[in-house]
């Protein structure tokens, strides 16, 4: 017990209490610094390897709307009847190639994607024949609506000669990956060089099963973790040129696989996809738990992201041609799709004006679980845990009286197909590391805090009590010693007086 009564013990106890305070207020920042260092894209680092060659197999499921009454629709003006076919499933591999480090803390790359058809997971074959709107033709006729009349008549004659019709019968594989279109073949020979399209065949995913020519430059997060994964330049440009404001032309989102760490429920995540031609803002919806018990936040588009300008005036910047703008729930991407009247929406017109869906037959009402776009993100590390990018491709068809092939074709938004692309989960190896990185530090902080404050407080209290008792004991001994001396003095005085009295008696 005497060992605990020294000043050293009190100093040690105070040191433990100070350490407890430092752990309480500084441990989280310390762990964040370690996580930030590990997350940042450093060539040769583990996160860099996962980023450059993701250890996942993204899957894309494609559903095609087959038109079952094309002739009746054209001749009698009946509603088009659609039959949703699919899914046609492709397993993908992603890889970033031509990676180049830049001196300003960014890194540039090209994205390589390989699509492999998976018959076992699919509900049909690539050879399945479908009837769909002739997108090249209907795009050309829609664009000619405001041209000179003689040009429209000439176009009608050319289409007669080439036997081009408003609907085409093609295989699913051709619709996706390309088929020779007579109109595109003609355009290759007659259109001026500066206006030529960069492809000779037409396919909704034409050219995607390869290495992209687009060079993307992103921030590594090494110098500033708040910029981690955010696009700095896309093909050398920091902004688009299609829209009416700097805000709408911005490109500084991520590719949707990574985000700056320390995401909160109040954060807005921005994803940039070239085919969408804009940043897609995502807001917190709910907390989720993925395989392995890793917790995350689900982020989804807000209901007004594709809203009409009447319901969301901020979307006016995406309507450079002026009213009329895209209907509620649709986004016009024609400016970055070579002026083809392509309108994007969520599948089955989810969160859109339902008159778009009822204008055709065969599309069931939208369901949130099946048709909502979402990304589940681990908030501390900013890594996507699970994702579903769900988009529907529609064609805005305009009636053009002078072109007999489409003279009976009403103004209509015609659904072509919708797809669901994403990942179900990350590999167990990554999930286990995430779980350790996000669950162990808080527990360690709690245990350390309790241990330091508990032991430091205990030693301090014991040492103080010990010192108080020691001081009290010394005081008691001092008092007892004083009383003993006083008593001895009195006894001596009495003894002396007695002796003096005896001597006086003898004298007498």
* Annotated domain spans of the chain: 1-45+447-474, 56-426
Per-position pLDDT tens, the chain of length 508: 455 555 666 676 666 666 666 656 666 666 677 778 888 999 888 889 999 999 999 999 999 999 999 999 988 889 999 999 999 999 999 999 999 999 999 999 999 999 999 999 999 999 999 999 999 989 888 877 777 777 788 888 888 888 889 999 999 999 999 999 888 877 766 665 555 566 778 999 998 999 999 999 999 999 999 999 999 999 999 999 999 999 999 999 999 999 999 999 999 999 999 999 999 999 999 999 998 889 999 999 999 999 999 999 999 999 988 888 999 999 999 988 878 899 999 999 999 999 999 999 999 999 999 999 999 999 999 999 999 999 999 999 888 888 888 888 888 999 999 999 999 988 888 888 877 766 666 666 667 677 766 666 666 677 667 766 766 666 655 555 555 444 555 456 555 655 655 555 554 4
Long-range contacts formed by 139-147: CB under 8 A, 24+ apart: 139/339, 139/340, 139/341, 139/395, 140/183, 141/398, 141/400, 141/403, 141/405, 141/406, 142/341, 142/396, 142/397, 142/398, 142/400, 143/339, 143/341, 144/400, 144/403, 145/398, 145/400
Rounded to whole angstroms, the Cα distance separating 16 from 162 reads 88
Task: Give dist(CA 495, CA 508) in Å, integer.
Answer: 21
Other CB atoms within 10 A of residue 143 CB: 17
Give, for 461, the enclosing helix (H) or strand (E). Answer: helix 428-507
Write down the residue that tokens 């540039």 correspond to: 108
The span from the CA of 300 to the CA of 389, in Å, is: 10
DSSP SS3 for 261: coil
DSSP 124-161: S-TT-EEEEE-HHHHHHHHHGGGS-HHHHHHHHHHHHH
Which residues 6+ apart lie within 8 Å of 25 measured at CB? none
Helices (H), 322-384: 355-358, 368-371
Tell me which residue has tokens 């369901």.
367
| Separation of alpha carbons 347 and 364, rounded Å | 10
* CA 147/CA 166 separation, integer angstroms: 20
The residues pairing with 392 across neighbouring beta strands, listed in sequence order, are 345, 418
pTM given for the model = 0.84
Q: In this predicted structure, what is the pLDDT of residue 253? A: 96
- The residues pairing with 258 across neighbouring beta strands, listed in sequence order, are 383
């Amino acid at each position: 017990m005497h060992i605990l009564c020294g000043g050293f013990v009190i100093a040690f106890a105070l040191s433990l209490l100070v350490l407890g305070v430092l752990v309480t207020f500084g441990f989280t920042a310390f762990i964040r610094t370690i996580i930030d260092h590990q997350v940042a894209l450093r060539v040769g680092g583990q996160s860099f390897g996962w980023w450059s060659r993701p250890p996942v197999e993204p899957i894309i499921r494609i559903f095609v709307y087959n038109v079952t009454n094309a002739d009746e629709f054209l001749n009698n003006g009946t509603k088009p009847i659609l039959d949703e076919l699919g899914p046609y499933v492709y397993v993908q591999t992603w890889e970033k190639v031509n990676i180049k480090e830049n001196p300003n803390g960014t890194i540039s790359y090209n994205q390589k994607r390989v699509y492999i058809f998976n018959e076992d997971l699919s509900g049909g074959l690539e050879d399945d024949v479908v009837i769909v709107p002739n997108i090249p033709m209907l795009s050309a006729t829609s664009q000619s609506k405001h041209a000179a009349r003689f040009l429209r008549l000439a176009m009608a004659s050319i289409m007669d000669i080439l036997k081009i019709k408003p609907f085409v019968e093609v295989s699913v594989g051709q619709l996706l990956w390309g088929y020779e279109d007579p109109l595109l073949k003609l355009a290759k020979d007659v259109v001026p060089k500066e206006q030529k399209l960069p492809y000779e065949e037409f396919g909704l995913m034409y050219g995607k099963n390869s290495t992209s020519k687009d060079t993307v430059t992103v921030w590594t997060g090494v110098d500033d973790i708040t910029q981690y994964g955010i696009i700095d330049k896309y093909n050398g440009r920091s902004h688009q040129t299609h829209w009416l404001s700097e805000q709408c032309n911005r490109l500084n989102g991520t590719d949707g696989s990574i985000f700056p760490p320390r995401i909160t429920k109040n954060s807005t995540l921005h994803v940039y996809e070239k085919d969408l031609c804009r940043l897609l803002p995502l807001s917190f919806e709910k907390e989720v738990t993925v395989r392995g018990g890793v917790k995350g936040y689900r982020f989804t588009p807000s209901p007004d992201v594709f809203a009409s300008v009447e319901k969301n005036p901020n979307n006016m910047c995406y309507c450079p041609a002026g009213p009329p703008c895209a209907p509620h729930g649709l986004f016009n991407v024609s400016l970055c799709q070579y002026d083809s009247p392509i309108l994007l929406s969520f599948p089955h017109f989810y969160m859109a004006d339902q008159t778009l869906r009822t204008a055709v037959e065969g599309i069931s009402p939208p369901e949130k679980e099946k048709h909502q776009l979402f990304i589940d993100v681990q908030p501390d590390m900013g890594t996507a845990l699970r994702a579903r990018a769900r988009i529907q491709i529609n064609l805005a068809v305009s009636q053009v009286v002078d072109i007999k092939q489409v003279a009976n074709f009403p103004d209509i938004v015609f659904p072509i197909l919708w797809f669901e692309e994403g990942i179900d989960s990350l590999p167990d190896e990554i999930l286990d590391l995430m779980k350790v990185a996000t669950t162990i530090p808080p527990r360690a902080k709690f245990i350390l805090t309790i241990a330091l404050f508990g032991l430091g407080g205990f030693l301090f209290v014991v040492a103080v009590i010990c010192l108080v008792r020691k001081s009290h004991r010394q005081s008691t001994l001092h008092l007892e010693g004083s009383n003993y001396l006083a008593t001895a003095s009195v006894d001596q005085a009495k003894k002396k007086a007695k002796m003096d009295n005896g001597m006086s008696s003898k004298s007498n």
